Amino acid sequence: MASNPIVTTILEHSRISSPPGTIGERSLPLTFFDITWLAFPPVHHVFFYRFPHSKSHFLETVVPNLKHSLSLTLQHFFPFASNLFVYPNVDDFGVIRKPEIRHVEGDYVALTIAECCLNFNDLTGNHPRECENFHPLVPPLGDLIKMSDYVTIPLFSVQVTYFKDSGISIGMTNHHTVADASTRLCFLKAWTSIAKSGGDQSFVMNGSPPVLDRLIDIPKLDEYRLRHTGLETLYKPRSLVGPAKKVRATFILSRTNINQLKKRVLTQIPTLEYISSFTVTCGYIWSCIAKSLVKMGEKKGEDELEQFIISVDCRSRMNPPIPSTYLGNCGAPCITTIKNVVLSSENGFVIAAKLISEAINKMVKNKEGIFKDAERWHDGFKIPARKISVAGTPKLNFYDIDFGWAKPQKYEAISIDYSVGGSVAINASKESTQDFEIGLSFPNMQMKAFADIFNHGLESEI
The torsion angles phi and psi of 316, rounded to 5 degrees, stand at -80, -5
- 127 catalytic? Reply is no
Give the orientation angle of helix 255-268 with respect to helix 444-461, to 10 degrees: 70
Q: Which of 176, 200, 222, 313 is catalytic?
A: 176
**449 contacts 443 by C-beta, under 8 angstroms:** no
**350 contacts 373 by C-beta, under 8 angstroms:** no
Among candidate residues 439, 442, 404, the one with its CA nearest the CA of residue 424? 439
311 vs 391: CA distance, rounded Å: 8
- Kindly report the CA angle at 167 between 397 and 428, in degrees rounded to 5? 15
Q: Which of 53, 68, 378, 402 is catalytic?
A: 402
**SS3 of residue 78 by DSSP:** helix
**272 contacts 354 by C-beta, under 8 angstroms:** yes
Give the CA distances from residue 100 to residues 150, 152, 236, 342, 430, in Å, rounded to whole numbers and listed in that order: 11, 10, 17, 44, 36
Count of other CB atoms within 10 angstroms of residue 185: 20
What is the pairing mode between strands 26-29 and 8-16?
unpaired
- 143 catalytic? Reply is no
The DSSP 8-state label assigned to residue 42 in this structure reads P
130 vs 245: CA distance, rounded Å: 7
Catalytic annotation, residues: 176, 402
